[in-house]
Amino acid sequence: MALEATHMRFALDLKDKYQVVDIEKYIVGSVYPDSRYVTGIDRTLTHGEWILADDFTVDDFHKGWQVHQLVDDIQAEIIKDYFPNLVPIFAKENKFTEREWPVFSAIKIIQDMDDLQKFDLRQSVKYLENYVFNPNGEDIKKVQRYNQIMINLYKGKKKTTVEDNYQMWLALGVDRKSALNIKEQTEGLLKDVKMIKRIETIYDEMLRRFFKNKVNN
């Protein structure tokens, strides 16, 4: 999963393309799929290529949901292309090893930190406070709990810290050992100036690939 500042930034940049009317439902839809971490439903119910079908976007919530899938797909491809030495098995076989997932997560955290500084997240956070929807019939209180975790991560902040993100993973139910591994990988990558600069180019490349694909299709 890309982190939610990245998801919401991308959704806002595509809102005109998707002819969004209800921006609140659209933004909430753009973060909804990752609520599975809290609700416990199977990932196949919230993520998959079936979400990219033209007839999926029946309303603004589903438009946001589709954009979420696009972000995950495009970002993953770029990370594989940019950092094949860091995620070699994933780059070749499209599956994670136990060693690669924390590195992959660390890259996404650093991108999310940068994305958060590139747009005004305040209104989007308010949408998470005001609206909740459970299209798979999940426990609505658990979906709300997920939204609250994201509100806690971002509200009132122009930049998150490594510790903020560590606490977020724990709140999502990731075991402490894995969360610490992600934290350590993030701290390590943040010491590499060239790596940071490379990660900070991912977002623009995501937009470029999206619009290039639309033109070619």
Measured CA to CA, the distance from residue 211 to residue 205 in angstroms comes to 10
3 state DSSP class of 54: helix
Domain extent at residue 33: 4-212
Q: From the CA atom positions of the chain, what is the Rg in Å?
A: 16
What's the pTM?
A: 0.96
Among residues of the chain, what percentage have pLDDT more than 70?
98
Q: Has residue 75 got a pLDDT over 80?
A: yes
Q: How does the average pLDDT of the chain come out, rounded?
A: 95
Band the pLDDT of 215: cuts 50, 70, 90: low
Tell me if 176 is assigned to some domain: yes
Q: Has residue 148 got a pLDDT over 80?
A: yes
Measured CA to CA, the distance from residue 146 to residue 19 in angstroms comes to 27
Q: Are 2 and 30 in contact (CB under 8 A)?
A: no
Concatenating the DSSP letter of every residue in 109-138 gives HHHHHHHHTTS--HHHHHHHHH----TT--
18-73 pLDDT, tens digit each: 999 999 999 999 999 999 999 999 999 999 999 999 999 999 999 999 999 999 99
Question: What pLDDT sits at residue 213?
Answer: 79
Measured CA to CA, the distance from residue 39 to residue 57 in angstroms comes to 23
Tell me if 199 is assigned to some domain: yes
Task: Read off φ and ψ for residue 215, nearest 5 degrees.
Answer: -65, -45
Measured CA to CA, the distance from residue 56 to residue 167 in angstroms comes to 34
Tell me if 43 is assigned to some domain: yes
Q: Are 111 and 104 in contact (CB under 8 A)?
A: no
Number of domains within the chain: 1
Tell me if 217 is assigned to some domain: no
